[in-house]
Chains A and B, each alone.
Chain A
Amino acid sequence: MKWIKNKSEIIFIPLLFGILYLLQTTGILNGYIMQVLLLVGINIMMTQSLNLITGLAGQPSLGHAGFMSIGAYSAASITTIFFNVTAMAPALQIVFFLVATAFGGICAALFGLLIGIPTLRLKGDYLAIVTLGFGELIRSIIRIVPAIGGARGLIGIPKLAGLFWIFLFAVITIYVCRNFMDSLYGRSAIAIRENNIAADTMGINVSRYKVITFVFSAFIAGVAGSLYAHTIQFVQPDIFSSIKSTEFLVYLYAGGVGSISGSILGAFMLTILPELLRFLSTWRLVIYGVLLVCVILFRPLGLFGGREFAFLKLNTGGIRNVGFRSFRRKNKDNAAEKPVDKEAE
């Protein structure tokens, strides 16, 4: 029993998937709702990815849709242009899908390296502008390459990513990001965010950790892009415009910057909200804008900033865990045992 209490995610995550799967197969959640839920999964991944670079390392990126589009296009070109995946056996399809997704992630990571190194000396607003420029540049390059559909977009991508894959990848992303945040890399990135010069003085290689975080973040964005392409079955350069990038930033800031739980919540709520408000037709985006300004005005750290769900079991300093009572008590005990941690807070 104690083992289950400590590792409740091993039960709860498959349970959540089981419920979603049952709801899908019984048709209680129709195709439209499922599509929205799949987009929620992809947006959670994107927001996690942005949280690494913007929330942890404090480097605002307005070009994440650019990385996403690289991932989407490179993965879709494998499954659609180079190989005709639809004619293959189902098992082989999955292999190709996974290879394509990994390829998409690696391509995006390479571009992340390409952008990350020269922009090391930029920061804050300037970095935001360069990444914005990069995203728009990718978009305008894709527009003039006829081999991948040009401005009309790439159609006929096989639908390989369903509920299972997106759920799996989203959960993996959350746990990888959680481990990243709790590791040497994440803590170094937080130190760089809090004070660049102080981190440097303490012996943290600022450039190295910035580039590592940037590349890792780009990789996740590329994987998310591949999932997006194989869910929607259609990619077009204008989908990945700067508006998309700012959307992810908005999810992150509304949810709570620097917090994994916050970015999950932000992506979840702000993807669902415009759909819930759809009955208001064009007025829904008016309300969306007002809500966004209100969140920023009245909840400066976002809805969930500085807090984490207790089930993520993060130990990084300065975070208040919220959630189930037993976990809270457990964390309190931990804090009492280790007075060093308390001091760090």
Chain B
Amino acid sequence: MATVIQLLVYGLQLGSIYALLAIGYTLVFGIIRMINLAHGDFLMIGCYAIFFFVSLVFGNMMIGPAVAFLVVMACSSLTGMVGVGIERVAYKPLRARPKISSMIAAMGVSVFTQNLFRSLPFIGPNPKTFPTLLKDQLFTIGTVEFSFLRIITISFTIVIMIILYFIIMKTKIGLHMRAVSCDKDASALMGINIDRVISLTFFLGAMLAAFSGAFYASCYPVLMVTMGSTLGTKAFIAAVIGGIGDIRGAVLGGIILGVVEVGIAGTYSEMAYGFSFVMLIIVLLWKPEGLLGKPMIEKV
């Protein structure tokens, strides 16, 4: 029993990371019906931004939680800006084209970003060590081991979800986003600035990816240029399992994937990677629109 709860805690932590990243996929898909395969690279950009910020400004100095929070906020905003820039340059001209074109463009962006980072002399192909943002503390309740970082990750994810829910459901820009995801042309006729809505979507998505990267790298502090693509694929699966286009679905899918993956890795570690795909295929064949997705009706 204690082992199950322990695995559940690990799974929730990994699941929160996946969920944060999956929200980005789902937001972008919900608004412009495009799968942004370069989304995982936003996570990588965010991690490197934090790494350089901390190592240039603070050196090896230990930073407190408040400063760490500010650093993560600044770097994730920067990543958000990068996301907006990428959308403007590479995806915006492709909006009216078939969706597969923007998917190919996203692959191009992904190849470009990863290899640009690998080629830049001050980054290089060697893995870097992520700075410790928070001093981690372990404590046990009964026989279950908790850590400060784990609690922070899970609770922070919940807070971000609530804020996101508030933005989308209660604010005017959230109303615009919902309108655009419902019908782009009609909402343009109603006076909604679609470009601004799409930029904001990419900003939010990239920002959440950077947050997710900060949590992931605090837990597994090895920075590589390819870290985004592996995590991105997983988060993408999570988004699809939950029902792409639905934010609650992304969270649900992320947590399910995290828990199942940790559970499988706890029993038979070789199969953990493949099993997420088995789950994906089963869910898609059983419910093609995902667990929480609404079936799309095709009009002639």
Contacts and interface: CB of A to CB of B under 8 A. Distances in A.
The secondary structure that dominates the A interface is helix
Nearest to A143: B270
Interface stretch (A37-45, A74-82, A280-288): A280-288
Interface string A285-296: 110111111001
B104 A125 contact: no
A126 B271 CA distance: 23
B100 interface: yes
Contacts of B237: 129, 133
Interface stretch (A170-178, A209-217, A245-253, A325-333): A245-253
Q: Which of A133, A134, A140, A253 has the most CB of B within 10 A?
A: A133
Contacts of B271: 140, 144
Which of A140, A250, A283: most chain B CB closer than 10 A? A140
Interface residues of A, number: 41
A52 to B, nearest CB: 16
A290 to B, nearest CB: 6
Contacts of A60: 100, 103
B109 interface: yes
A290 B271 CA distance: 36
Contacts of B281: 130, 133-134, 137
B239 to A, nearest CB: 10
Contacts of A286: 112, 115-116, 119
Interface string A102-136: 00000000000000001101101110111001101
A297 B90 contact: yes
Contacts of B233: 136, 242
Contacts of B174: none
B270 A144 contact: yes
Interface residues of B, number: 43
B118 A289 contact: no
A300 interface: yes
A21 to B, nearest CB: 35
Contacts, number: 115
A269 interface: no
B240 A129 contact: yes
B90 A137 contact: no
Interface string B87-129: 0001001100101110111011111111110110000010000
Nearest to A119: B285
Contacts of B119: 281-283, 286
B111 A125 contact: no
A139 B278 CA distance: 12
B274 interface: yes
B108 A293 contact: yes
B107 A130 contact: no
B134 interface: no
Contact of A253 (B100, B116, B285): B100
Chain B, interface SS category: helix
Given A250-B107, A293-B90, A125 B112 contact: no
A141 interface: yes
A129 B116 contact: no
B97 A137 contact: no
Contacts of A198: 300
B101 A253 contact: yes
B273 interface: yes
A292 B111 contact: yes
Interface in B211-248: 233, 236-237, 240, 244
Contact of A293 (B100, B105, B274, B280): B105
A24 B118 CA distance: 36
Nearest to A140: B274
A197 interface: yes
A139 B237 CA distance: 17
A124 B270 CA distance: 31
Interface string B267-300: 0001101100110110011001000000000101
7 contacts: A124-B99, A133-B280, A282-B118, A289-B109, A293-B109, A296-B104, A297-B90
Interface of B: 35, 37, 90, 93-94, 97, 99-101, 103-105, 107-116, 118-119, 125, 233, 236-237, 240, 244, 270-271, 273-274, 277-278, 280-281, 284-285, 288, 298, 300
Interface of A: 60, 118-119, 121-122, 124-126, 128-130, 133-134, 136-137, 139-141, 143-144, 197-198, 242, 246, 249-250, 253, 281-283, 285-286, 288-293, 296-297, 300
